[in-house]
């Protein structure tokens, strides 16, 4: 095996100089994080640079509406918004009261798995990797759909609504099955309540007593909204566009995007943030001593602490420089939840890390742009305060992002008639075939 690995590295690693020679941007982004233009979308917009090209506070718009405005109105009216924002992203406009009520009922009607699906599919071959379990369940659902390969817009919308409605069930039941079989915990399977919102049902399904507070559900609702969509260029959504362009079915497309999201560089960062903060608390003797905290952050950056990867998780973003608007919105709700839970000291510690980490990064790294907290920095803390298991952190991201994937899948179907196939420049040097008996042994 070692010899095979040696050959792979010897013949597959491309010199960094080649990227400059051919003007190829690694990760399809320049040094400022700006992505190579690969398509057009009218689903969402991200603004992180002003007209002069200078960094500015980040703005995220869903169908041209600022997410800060969405959050402000939901909070002022003290109501849930997941279903309303789902409607906005899918159909391009905010619903009227009657349209929203009708849409909620449509989701309720579809929030039902096939008979014995939990027993025959989810309970079999359980895994601690809930994202993989969800992928298996989604492909299994395809077998129950007699129109699986129908890629008309009407059918894809119908399939998308079904997946949006059932993603919470697929994730939570997969976790409960694993926890029962592998950890010998008591098994309880609750059915969703038709009168409750998506966020409320998630907490209801997870908790043995089905109980939760209004604040808990509202914070989770907001976290889901903030994770729903983030432009066409993020890895999992771009996967949606690429795979959809091939003409494949909805289930295959969603599993491809889900597989992208489960990567630690994409959807798994919130778990890392929570573990990193626990590690810092364990190794810093005085949580009030900012010098001690700063020094430990420098150790993390220098691969001398935590996971020795040299990363402060939850800090920085490929696109945002000055600020991540999702983190700004979530932070105000985090403060409210921390107060309800009596965790003000923990919240203050998070804020301290948020302030000190960019200073440590600026000292220890040559950076091309500013560094600020991203949405993962606070979402992990939210999930901890809600008592959610770590195995569900990334699946919760998927429960939200399936909305954005669905909108982008339909957008790709409507606007593109070519399979997405970018070019890769070969840097091979021509060789001559040598007969096997003449090759060196």
Split into its structural domains, the chain has a count of 2
Same domain, 306 and 209: no
395: domain range?
A: 68-263+390-415
Which entry of 230, 249, 376, 408 is annotated as an active-site residue? 376
> Is the residue at 20 inside a domain?
no
Same domain, 254 and 174: yes
Which entry of 227, 317, 324, 408 is annotated as an active-site residue? 317
Is 209 tagged catalytic? no
First and final C-alpha spacing in the chain = 17
Q: What angle do CA 324, 231, 57 make, to 5 degrees?
A: 25
pLDDT tens readout for residues 310-347? 999 999 887 888 999 999 999 989 999 999 999 999 99
Same domain, 220 and 83: yes
> Is the residue at 34 inside a domain?
no
> Is the residue at 206 inside a domain?
yes
> Is the residue at 434 inside a domain?
no
Q: What angle do CA 256, 259, 263 make, to 5 degrees?
A: 145
> Is the residue at 147 inside a domain?
yes
Task: Give the rounded percent of residues in the chain with a pLDDT score beyond 70.
Answer: 99
Residue found under tokens 């915990």: 185
| Model confidence, pTM | 0.94
Q: What is the CATH number of the domain that holds 229?
A: 1.10.580.10
- pLDDT exceeds cutoff 70 at 32: no
> Is the residue at 315 inside a domain?
yes
Q: What is the mean pLDDT of residues 359-387?
A: 89
> Is the residue at 96 inside a domain?
yes
Rounded (10°) angle between helices 269-283 and 393-415: 150
- pLDDT exceeds cutoff 80 at 440: no
Same domain, 259 and 322: no
pLDDT tens readout for residues 271-284? 889 899 999 999 99
Same domain, 281 and 342: yes
Is 241 tagged catalytic? no
């Amino acid at each position: 095996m070692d010899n095979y690995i040696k050959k792979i590295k010897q013949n597959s690693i491309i010199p960094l100089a080649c990227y400059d020679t051919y003007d190829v941007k690694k990760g399809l982004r320049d040094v400022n994080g700006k992505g190579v233009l690969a398509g057009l979308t009218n689903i969402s917009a991200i603004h992180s640079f002003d007209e002069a090209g200078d960094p500015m506070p980040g703005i995220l718009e869903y169908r041209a509406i600022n997410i800060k405005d969405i959050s402000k109105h939901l909070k002022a009216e003290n109501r849930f918004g997941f279903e309303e924002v789902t409607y906005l992203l899918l159909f391009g406009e905010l619903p009227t009261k009657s349209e929203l009520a009708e849409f909620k009922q449509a989701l309720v009607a579809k929030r039902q798995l096939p008979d014995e699906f939990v027993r025959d599919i989810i309970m079999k071959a359980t895994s601690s990797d809930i994202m993989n379990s969800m992928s298996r369940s989604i492909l299994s659902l395809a077998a129950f759909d007699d129109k699986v390969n129908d890629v008309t817009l009407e059918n894809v919308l119908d399939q998308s609504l079904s997946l949006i409605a059932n993603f919470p069930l697929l994730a939570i039941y997969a976790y409960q099955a694993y926890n029962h079989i592998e950890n010998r915990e008591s098994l309880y399977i609750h059915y969703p309540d038709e009168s409750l919102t998506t966020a409320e049902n998630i907490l209801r399904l997870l908790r043995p007593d089905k109980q939760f507070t209004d604040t808990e559900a509202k914070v989770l609702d907001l976290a889901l909204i903030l994770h729903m969509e983030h432009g066409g260029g993020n890895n999992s959504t771009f996967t949606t566009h690429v795979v959809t362009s091939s003409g494949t079915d909805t289930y295959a497309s969603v599993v491809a995007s889900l597989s992208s999201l489960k990567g630690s560089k994409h959807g798994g960062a919130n778990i890392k943030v929570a573990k990193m903060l626990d590690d810092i608390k364990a190794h810093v003797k005085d949580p009030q001593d900012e010098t001690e905290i700063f020094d430990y952050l420098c150790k993390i950056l220098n691969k001398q602490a935590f996971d020795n990867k040299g990363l402060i998780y939850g800090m920085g973003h490929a696109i945002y420089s000055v600020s991540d608007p999702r983190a700004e919105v979530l932070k105000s709700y985090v403060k409210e939840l921390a107060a309800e839970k009596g965790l003000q000291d923990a919240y203050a510690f998070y804020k301290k890390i948020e302030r000190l980490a960019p200073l440590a990064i600026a000292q220890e790294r040559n950076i091309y742009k500013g560094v600020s907290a991203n949405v993962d920095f606070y979402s992990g803390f939210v999930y901890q305060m809600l008592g959610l298991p770590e195995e569900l952190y990334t699946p919760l991201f998927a429960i939200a992002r399936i909305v954005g994937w669905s909108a982008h899948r339909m957008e790709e179907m409507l606007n593109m008639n070519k399979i997405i196939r970018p070019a890769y420049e070969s840097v091979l040097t021509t060789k001559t075939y040598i007969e096997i008996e003449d090759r060196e042994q």
